[in-house]
């Protein structure tokens, strides 16, 4: 009987510690390089014409979905990549996206909008000098 009670208490404790929150975007960062966990090493909103522009989208919760981004320069859409994500064992993780141009980016104002399953989850503006 004591063993059964201990097993039930352990199961309840482990269940209470895990997240049952649905998948959601909790942070959006821009920079030039990534840490080993796909977060941005040094966040910035200012880039050079030949820099790689890296976006890190931090999601939390468990489940699966599609993270997509829309990179724009003025009213022109530059790229709209998508990545399928699925987290069953983590409470949070970062997904990275890159915008690169072999010929360089023109100077000006840019923006990136992040979507989770087609719903806007936030945006960031940045500048190329």
| Domain harbouring 121, CATH code | 2.60.40.1930
How far apart, in Å, do the first and last CA atoms of the chain sit? 71
Q: What is the pTM of this model?
A: 0.82
Name the pLDDT band for 17 (thresholds 50, 70, 90): very low
* 99-128 average pLDDT score: 97
Query: CA–CA distance from 70 to each of 5, 111, 124 (Å)?
Result: 52, 8, 11
Number of domains in the chain: 1
Instruction: Name residue, tokens 């959601």.
Output: 24
**Is residue 40 a part of any domain in this protein?**
yes
User: Which residues constitute the domain of residue 50?
Assistant: 21-128
**Is residue 8 a part of any domain in this protein?**
no
Q: What is the pLDDT of residues 23-74, one digit of tens each?
A: 999 999 999 999 999 999 999 999 999 999 999 999 999 889 999 999 999 9
**Is residue 27 a part of any domain in this protein?**
yes
**Is residue 104 a part of any domain in this protein?**
yes
**Is residue 110 a part of any domain in this protein?**
yes
**Is residue 69 a part of any domain in this protein?**
yes
**Is residue 70 a part of any domain in this protein?**
yes
**Is residue 14 a part of any domain in this protein?**
no
């Amino acid at each position: 009987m004591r063993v059964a009670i201990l097993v039930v208490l352990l199961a309840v404790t482990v269940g209470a510690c895990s997240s049952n929150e649905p998948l959601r975007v909790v942070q959006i960062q821009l920079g030039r390089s990534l840490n080993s966990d796909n977060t941005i090493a040094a966040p910035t909103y200012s880039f050079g014409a030949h820099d790689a522009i890296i976006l890190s989208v931090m999601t939390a919760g468990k489940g699966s979905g599609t993270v997509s981004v829309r990179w724009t320069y003025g009213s022109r859409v530059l790229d709209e990549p998508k990545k399928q994500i699925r987290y069953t064992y983590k409470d949070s993780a970062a997904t990275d996206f890159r915008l690169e141009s072999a010929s360089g980016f023109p100077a000006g104002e840019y923006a990136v909008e992040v979507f989770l399953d087609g719903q806007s989850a936030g945006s960031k503006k940045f500048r190329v000098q």
